[in-house]
Amino acid sequence: MRRRLRTAAVAAMLAGASAAVLPDAALAHGLVGRQDLPIPRWLFAWAAAVVLVISFVALAVLWPRPRLEHVRERRVLRVPAALEALCGVLGIAGFAAVVYSGFAGTQTATANLAPTVIFVMFWVGLPFATAVLGDVFAAFNPWRAVARGAAWVAGRVAPGRLPEPMPYPSWLGRWPAALGILAFAWVELVYVNRDDPSILAGLALAYAIVQLIGMSVYGIDTWTRRADAFAVYFGLFARLAPLHWRDRTLYRRPPLGGAPQLDVVPGTVAMLCVMIGTTSFDGFSQGALWTGTNGIAPTLQQRFLNLGFSQETALQITFTLGLVFMVGVVAGVYRLGIAGMGSIGGEQQADLARRFVHSLIPIALAYVVAHYFSLLAYQGQAMASLASDPLGDGSDLFGTASATIDYNVISATGVWYVQVAALVLGHAAGLTLAHDRALVVYRRVLDATRSQYWMLAVMVGFTSLGLWLLSASAQ
Amino acid sequence: MPRMSLPEYPSPGGGAPGRGTSRAARVGFILGGLAVLLIAFVILRGGDDSGDPSSSSSVQTTAAPQASTGVATQEAQSTGANGDRGAAETGSTSTSARPAPPTEPAPRLVRVVDGQPQGGIKTFSYKKGDQVLLTVESDTADEIHVHGYDLKRNVTAGGSVQFSFKATIEGRFEIELEDAGVQIAMLEVTPS
């Protein structure tokens, strides 16, 4: 990407033209060998119909008493402490391998282990795994493992002499996590050097150091629950999972059952709006409306070029604005729905916004699945060759270095169905959670139902946006 | 874990379900909804082939550094696997695609001038199973890389190179000047 930009800049100078010679900024990143086809019009229409039918059927048939607010968890098994320690060690080893590959390996993005692990396995693969298996990241979280190891050693060496952690400011809530995810999305979607393995490794290391400092000041568990962006991010998805890990014990519960237990501290609404908004921007930024010949991005970029910014800077400012704008759109849609609900009376709007925010978790997951399923299905296969040759220096550790990506493992039609199914299921799950909460917030079922017309409008809005981003009109 | 305080549930009698939906009525609603969707799926899927946007245009331009000095006459023609495809041309969402003159199937051509694709990055559309015929003329020496299919050919300065392969993988794929890292075209293969 950077080379591409440089080349474009040189070409622009050579041409001596005042007209913009804009680099192609359409690609998510250089890892993507195959991009998705837009969903066909008939499927778009059908999915929209499904969404509407589901919504109205849901209004008619959903239960009149809350069912998900206090689900019963059943104990499945208990794991030994040694396994917990082993997972931590594996997490640290994996993190070290990625950082080392990034620094020491080839700087060609597709031939280096680091970019694929970070952008595909970690950022996309983990949410998929988490939604099914529960919060697996908590077990392998490398910086948390380092901190716990250090705390354990310190407890042995100098028992009772460790200072108490400082109290975590309650107003801070999940704001650090929301900003952290926004920063990661910026690196992934805006930063021109996003694919540079050594820069990625440096950023990963810097992130880990910040987390270690945070944990040492505010305590490991408090910091991880509130401010570690990735722990919070995966932890939110884990609330949808039918499996729940707590204190080395595995419980099972109905799917979605963890979401109503969400402790809605400040920054939680922002966190979910960032999650949905950044994924939306990933789709939007690949569309013709954004990158087309007379699209928004080239126009804006030209404005910034005229202000005297360099080609790269102008591009990044443009994309940053787009990213923030999309997050704002998502927050605005949610706020509108909440304002409508507030008109029914009884609750402050800020309270309502917090009370219903857990119903956005399935929407966020649906967006991730719809946008990144194919990346995981195709680029995920590159792990076979990258694991054997992480540095791209021709080594063959496991004999799989020559493995290639089979792009026919799932057809374009199959990808479409997965994308649409994800959005529709996320929509249904979001509606269910909102309905359940409404029965608690509003004492009269009639009020609860009326309030849900507004939530329904919000959900239909998000799902339609998701579908539109997949469709030809956006691409 | 601190929990947010919630009001008590409505008492069993209090917020009595005003809607007297019986179990049978609920099942009826769900089955009715499913039936409607199933019928819609069958009808839409079978009846909207020409509306499929992926087959609506054979060449689209997404970004045009040198505006419309293209070579559209050679490019705008789709390979003739489906004779009816020209009828869908009007559905194009393209910004600068030109109408296709109904000539015999011609190889698609990309001309690289000063390391940039002339006329912007065009999208070449094929159905799965079609034969792709693609020529790249370049005034700079580089390697042409068709992503996904992972085909690579060297081109000399002022020379041209031809790709001929069967479209076996669905999706959109970048065609790139590998060393310069510049995308010069997009290959699009839609389900047949």
pLDDT digits (tens, 9 = 90+) for A240-295: 999 999 888 999 999 998 999 999 899 999 999 999 999 999 888 887 788 777 77
Measured between beta carbons, the chain A residues lying within 8 angstroms of B26 are 60-61
Report the C-alpha dihedral over residues A243, A245, A249, A254, rounded to 10 degrees: -30
pLDDT surpassing 50 at residue A388: yes
pLDDT of residue A324: 94
A33-66 pLDDT per residue, tens = 788 888 888 888 888 888 888 887 877 777 778 8
Residue A231, pLDDT above cutoff 70: yes
Say how many domains are in chain A.
1
Phi, psi of B134 (to 5 degrees): -140, 130
CATH of segment(s) B53-190: 2.60.40.420
Q: pLDDT-based confidence at A448, cuts 50/70/90?
A: confident
The DSSP result for A68-108, as a single string, is STTPPPEEEEE--HHHHHHHHHHHHHHHHHHHHHHHHS-S-
List the helix and strand counts (H, then E) for chain B. 2, 10
Point out the residue among A3, A46, A56 whose CB comes nearest to the CB of B44: A46
Question: Could you tell me if A22 and A301 are in contact, meaning their C-beta atoms sit under 8 angstroms apart?
Answer: yes
**Residue A1: Cβ-neighbour burial (10 angstroms; 0-12, 13-18, 19+):** buried
What are A83's two structure tokens?
A: 């396994």
Instruction: Report pTM.
Output: 0.80
**pLDDT reported for residue B66:** 33
Q: Does A15 touch chain B (CB under 8 A)?
A: yes
Mean per-residue pLDDT, A233-237 = 95
The predicted structure's pLDDT at residue A93: 96
Say yes or no: ipTM exceeds 0.85. no
Is B52's CB within 8 Å of A42's CB? yes
Please count the helices (runs of H) and the strands (runs of E) in chain A: 20, 4
In a domain, A417, yes or no: yes
**Strand B142-146 versus strand B171-177 pairing type:** antiparallel
Q: Is B47 on the interface with A (CB under 8 A)?
A: yes
- Beta-strand relationship, B122-127 and B151-155: unpaired
- Chain B contact for A57, CB < 8 A? yes
A374: closest CA among A404, A403, A417? A417
CA distance to partner chain B, nearest, from residue A273 (Å) = 20
In chain B, domain spans: 20-49, 53-190
Chain A closest-CA separation from residue B88 CA (Å): 13
Contact B14 A443 (CB under 8 A): yes
Q: Please tell me which residue of chain B has the smallest CA distance to A447.
A: B15
pLDDT top residue among B15 and A245 = A245
Cβ A239 vs Cβ A134: under 8 Å:
no
Chain B residues near residue A48 by CB distance under 8 angstroms: none
Range of lowest pLDDT (A99-113, A328-342, B103-117): B103-117
Of A134, A149, A143, A23, nearest to A85 by C-alpha is A149
A473·B93 Cβ contact <8 A: yes
Helix (H) or strand (E) holding A194: none
The reply to whether residue A36 touches residue B171, judged by beta carbons under 8 angstroms, is yes
Cα torsion angle, A107, A110, A116, A119, sign: positive
Tell me which residues of chain B, numbers 77 to 106, contact chain A at a CB-CB cutoff of 8 Å: 93, 95-96
Q: Residue A41 belongs to what domain range?
A: 25-470
Q: pLDDT (tens digit, 9 = 90+) per residue, A195-225?
A: 889 999 999 999 999 999 999 999 999 999 9
Residue B123's pLDDT is 84
